[in-house]
Chains A and B, each alone.
Chain A
Amino acid sequence: MTLHRKPEYGRVNRGKPINFSFDGKIYSAFDGDSLASALLAHGVHLVGRSFKYHRPRGFVAAGPEEPNALVTFDRGPGRVTPNVRATTLEVFDGLVAHSQNNWPSLTFDMGAVNDLFYMLFPAGFYNKTFMWPKSFWDRVYEPAIRKMAGLGPAPIDEDADIYASQYMHCETLIVGAGPAGIAAALAASEKPGRVILVDEQYEFGGSLLSTPNMVINDIPAWQWLEDSLAILKARENVTLLTRTTVIGYYHENFLGAVERITDHEKDLSSHKPRERLYKIRAGEVVLATGAIERPLVFQSNDRPGVMLASAAHTYLNRYGVVVGEKIALFTCHDSAYEVIFDLADAGISIAGVIDVRDQVSETIIAAAKARNIEILTGTIVSGTSGKFRVSSLRASKIEDGKITSTWEIACDCLLMCGGWTPSIHLFSHSKGSLKWREDLGAYIPDNPNENVISVGACNGTFGLRKIMTEGAGGSTEYQVNAGAFGSGIIPATFPTEGDPAKVKAFVDFQNDVTEKDINLAVREGLKSIEHVKRYTTTGMATDQGKTSNLNALQIAAKAVYKPVQQVGLTTFRPPYTPTTFGALVGGKDGHSFHVIRKTPMDGWAEDHGAVFEPVALWRRARYFPRDGEDMLAAVNRECLTTRCSLGIFDASTLGKVEVIGPDAAEFMNRMYTNPWLKLKPGSCRYGLMLGEDGYIMDDGVIGRLAENHFHVTTTTGGAPRVFRMMEDYRQTEWPELDVWLTSTTEQWAVIALNGPNARKLIEPFVEGIDLSEEKFPHMAVREGRICGVETRLFRVSFSGELGFEINVPAHYGRALWETLFIAGQKYDITPYGTETMHVLRAEKGFIIVGQDTDGTVTPMDVGMSWAIGKKKKDFVGKRSLSRPDIMAEGRKQLVGLLTDDPNIVLEEGAQLIANPEQSIPMDMIGHVTSSYWSATLNRSIALAMVKNGHALTESNVYIPMPGKIYKAQVSKCVFYDPNGERLNVI
């Protein structure tokens, strides 16, 4: 096949030929080609099928604005990326890509039938057609439409690549390394301060890469580019990032940028991440993001071979590829003439220039004449022909807004130029305001909301000299050989030959939205561009309307007879271009996804087969199954062994706060409901904490180590919240108190020993503490040593058995646990987890905050009025406890439940009713909060919150569960050892 290359043109490395595959066919390319340029070099224009109508589509652009040429980039399992723009995909040796949205093939696509039945798919068709029969929508229409419409299929394999992320800081961030950006970087880096220059392409230069004929300060453009980059590279304060797209611009000059690291590399065996997300905090941001050429909206403007003039320029000058052998141009702006002249100078036959305007400048006419190019003014293109590529266009003469004559012009490529749209996306992300420039027919940046400036084309400044001088911030005056950039008009719409309702003039190529769709939306009453957008889906595709937004806006404005500014502008949102989930996750996957806190004894539990459960950020051992035991069997065994002999439990996750200072007791007195002032050092007390609303917030055992020193424990999940609340009160409400709080949750490993043999086990290991019942009673704390290391030994019990909680510095936790476990063998010691802990405490009627309480429960509701210091003047939540609704009758109260059938374990969360005969809807009088099988009692037990529950003791309630309604008797909460005799077993 003849290659459509011009040997003396382009920057591709002809010394490095490579091969790639597209739709299974092998093609040649050169290093430096994009997939688009490489395919065009082989004359391949047809690369995809459109979203809705499955029309053949080719390349519209040469850069990231490309709406049509989306391909699936296939690097094997776990490395398939759909919807990659062929214009930005760098070709490497062995690259594999496929076309999308066609079946069975790109050239014979069954879906193309949609194009014939276009009347079924008007704007908002899903609200109009396919409505009957209604039941068909879910099962037939929607699945079929989803299958037919759309882009490449989402990958199903797990991503095989790794990703990374990184914070960065600089004084100046320059986005876009075209002439304006490079001029800005040269100027900024002369001063001290870090400069980061970012460009999404694989080489810097932007438009300069497509305009080698420019001469800057008497140096040819490409030489100037090379020299400037050498200067920037040599400057220590400059970081240059290619292949890096700034995807979002957030508050306080915080920007996200994604660097593509391996997508262009043949060899994937390295450990390099595929992409890296940079989170950049910049002092000043310079946006030099350029402008995007605007397509023209005319019948069949989507045929392969119809493309932006600037794209042809880039393919020729940057890649050395000619996009056609006989090229026509349809324009309303001077800038496209430079392209057609360059193409003519390259020896390409020009079929003619169709210019909407009645007049063009003398300079252009002269330059065209010199090249034998015919310019047809006051003329439009009213249609194109050709199957998979344009073969001719229809030129129509316009007079007084009407077509007066039409004729065919043969061509194999039609360039179009509808003016230029400044790329204001990032400025818009940063919440800067915009203003309308009538002469450009476009919005440009107005008042910034951040420390940002826009320079060059993205600021509405055109012409190389002006762009560069603006980029340099006036510090350097650039001289260039280029003439004026010129000007144009914004026609928005053109007259048509036939029935306008049948004309398919595309506005949004990617979402298949035509001019008539927008007009229909307006006729159906949608006046705001935001509504038109959502109704027609224009600008809602993956390109976010980079080429279509302003055309859509102008068509809508014309249809409602209003100035564009009154129709508005849709909002740009990050990301600027489609971004992989991998990049956004940025390496925070697997174990890095979130913190899983492990206790010092976690490794031992893992080695001993523990089943874990998450509790807040911690993972805790839930139970320790032996020899094929299920959870129930393991928990039954753990419970019985603990009650009969000895159990060992890891309580390290309990929150711990050290409260120290002369006012420590006063502080405790104010934070907790209980009285603390008279608690003796060496004693413990159960502490109950309320929120300001009077509801139970947290609880825990608190030991007073000295007059001015408390060791506070909190629930596992409540620890951060309790600490924060205490700090808040300490700093803001009671700054007069001399007291300080230190979180010591992780300072101490805590081993809870429960069971009649607990004392016997530790006796030989403990030094400096008299463990006798008289000297060390229940609810006492002592400091001493165990196994040679310091300990805070608490005599407390959450099981009702004789219990100790041994606190040792955390790094010793596992070693002490192992020592005790080995020594405990003679007592048949069992390790137990949270499940057994829950059962043991429920047998004793001890609540768990957050399980038996739900943030709307008062101490009185759970029968804990005893924990409130009656004589205390104040404590957090005290005032709320006397609110009428807290004192009211009929509140839910905590009770025990014993099912009539002792083998039935109720479901936690099950609702309670008083009368099963009541007609539906029944009155719910409460719910089950905790429910277990109690091996000790050989029956089921439950705790429940029931309306007026305390008065219902011994009455019956009913619990509807799947299949049956169960009967239960209300009981006291304490099911086992109501007198607490087991605590004091000697």
Chain B
Amino acid sequence: MLSELKIDQAVELAPILTGEVDLLPVQTRYSLRVKPKERCAFIEASNIDLPAQIGKMSVQYDRVVLCIGPDEYILICSLAEREPLARKFEELMGKYIFSATDISHRNVSFILSGEQTTNMINVGCPLDLSLENFPVGKCTRTIFESAEIILFRMGKTKFQLETWRSFAPFIVGYFEKYCLQNRGK
């Protein structure tokens, strides 16, 4: 009886998005807050590489840590890492001043790729996504139309876009429109 329940990430991708937009399977995500003066000690104790600067990200294996605020980090990794991470945070709680909140199901992630990617993102996101101004490895919390997103660049034409679950269909709707309008471009 105690079987796993079916996962539903609230998003279905139309075929036209193939190759442009991919939905990541469920990830482990934590919102990490660490008292700035304990950052270095926390890194050492946790072996989680917290970037020193807002807008930077670190990549360890398949684990990505984004710094999106003065003491605010988003950690994204595979499901397999969840249990060990949860144990680690429990262990560190009380020893360091920090907060770790599981937001694995709060967000969904899209991988956006292809030559038209920046144009597609710029349909709803007002940021300058040129390589000079938004280089590979940059991350930011921003907006796509009226939805909050976290955007980071993984390659010249590859981005990851994180958004809250209920905003995802709204954003995907824009991507579908864009791909339809620019078919064969």
Contacts and interface: CB of A to CB of B under 8 A. Distances in A.
A809 B10 contact: no
A194 B35 CA distance: 41
B88 interface: no
Given A742-B99, A747-B106, A164 B123 contact: yes
Contacts of B147: 595
Contacts of B9: 811
B173 interface: yes
A746 B106 contact: yes
A740 interface: yes
Interface stretch (B53-61, B149-157, B164-172): B164-172
A814 B8 contact: yes
A939 interface: no
Contact of A162 (B123, B133, B181): B181
B2 A767 contact: yes
A787 B3 contact: yes
A34 B157 CA distance: 41
A591 interface: yes
B166 A169 contact: no
A767 B2 CA distance: 9
A747 B177 CA distance: 28
Contact of A169 (B3, B4, B128, B146): B128
Contact of B146 (A594, A814, A815): A594
A765 B106 contact: no
A261 B167 CA distance: 30
Contacts of B170: 591-592, 595-596
A108 interface: no
Contacts of A592: 145, 170, 173-174, 177
Contacts of B97: 661-662, 738
Contacts of A789: 4-5
Interface string A576-604: 00000000000110011011111110010
Interface stretch (A271-279, A483-491, A502-510): A271-279
B45 interface: no
Given A165-B123, A588-B145, A787 B2 contact: yes
A658 interface: yes
Nearest to B171: A595
Interface in B124-173: 125-130, 133, 145-147, 164-167, 169-170, 173
B103 interface: yes
A167 interface: yes
A268 to B, nearest CB: 13
B173 A591 contact: yes
Given A194-B130, A597-B167, A738-B35, A747 B181 contact: no
Given A588-B145, A592-B170, A788-B4, A273 B181 contact: yes
A796 to B, nearest CB: 21
B7 A812 contact: yes
A708 interface: yes
B78 interface: no
A169 B130 contact: yes
Contacts of A740: 33, 71, 99, 101
A811 B2 contact: no
A167 B165 contact: no
Name the interface size band of chain B.
35 or more
Contacts of A746: 105-107, 164-166
Given A281-B128, A740-B33, A787-B5, A811 B102 contact: no
B7, B9, B105: most-surrounded residue (chain A CB, <10 A): B105
A165, A599, A811, A819: most-surrounded residue (chain B CB, <10 A): A811
B61 to A, nearest CB: 24
A746 to B, nearest CB: 4
Given A162-B181, A273-B181, A594-B146, A747 B2 contact: no
B101 A742 contact: yes
Interface residues of A, number: 58
Contacts of B71: 740
Interface string B94-126: 000101111111110000000000010011011
Interface in A724-771: 738-740, 742-748, 764-765, 767
A741 to B, nearest CB: 9
A658 B105 contact: no
A592 B167 CA distance: 11
Nearest to A281: B128
Nearest to A739: B99
Contact of A765 (B1, B6, B119, B169): B1
A816 interface: yes
A743 B102 CA distance: 10
A271 B183 contact: yes
A516 B184 CA distance: 58
A107 B178 CA distance: 46
A167 B7 contact: no
A281, A595, A660, A743: most-surrounded residue (chain B CB, <10 A): A595
A642 to B, nearest CB: 24
B43 interface: no
A742 B5 CA distance: 26
Nearest to A809: B105
Given A167-B122, A595-B170, A660 B101 contact: yes
B5 A816 contact: yes
Contacts of A825: none
Interface string A426-439: 00000000000000
Contacts of A588: 145
Contacts of B126: 167, 279, 281
A568 B1 CA distance: 82
Contacts of A594: 146
Interface string B4-47: 11111110000000000000001000010101000000000000
A168 interface: yes
Nearest to A742: B101
A955 interface: no
A271 B181 contact: yes
Contacts of A814: 6, 8
B92 interface: no
A600 B8 contact: yes
Contacts of B128: 169, 281
Contacts of B104: 747, 809
Contacts of B174: 587, 592
Contacts of A618: 166
Interface string A693-709: 00000000000000010
A810 interface: yes
Given A596-B170, A811-B26, 14 more contacts: A167-B123, A194-B130, A595-B166, A595-B167, A597-B166, A597-B167, A658-B99, A740-B71, A742-B31, A744-B106, A747-B103, A785-B2, A814-B8, A815-B7
7 nearest interchain CB pairs? A815-B5, A597-B166, A660-B99, A740-B33, A809-B105, A169-B128, A740-B99
Interface of B: 1-10, 26, 31, 33, 35, 71, 93, 97, 99-107, 119, 122-123, 125-130, 133, 145-147, 164-167, 169-170, 173-174, 177-178, 180-181, 183
23 contacts: A164-B177, A165-B123, A167-B123, A271-B181, A591-B170, A595-B170, A600-B8, A600-B165, A660-B33, A661-B97, A740-B101, A745-B106, A746-B107, A747-B102, A747-B105, A748-B105, A785-B2, A787-B2, A788-B3, A811-B7, A811-B9, A812-B5, A815-B6
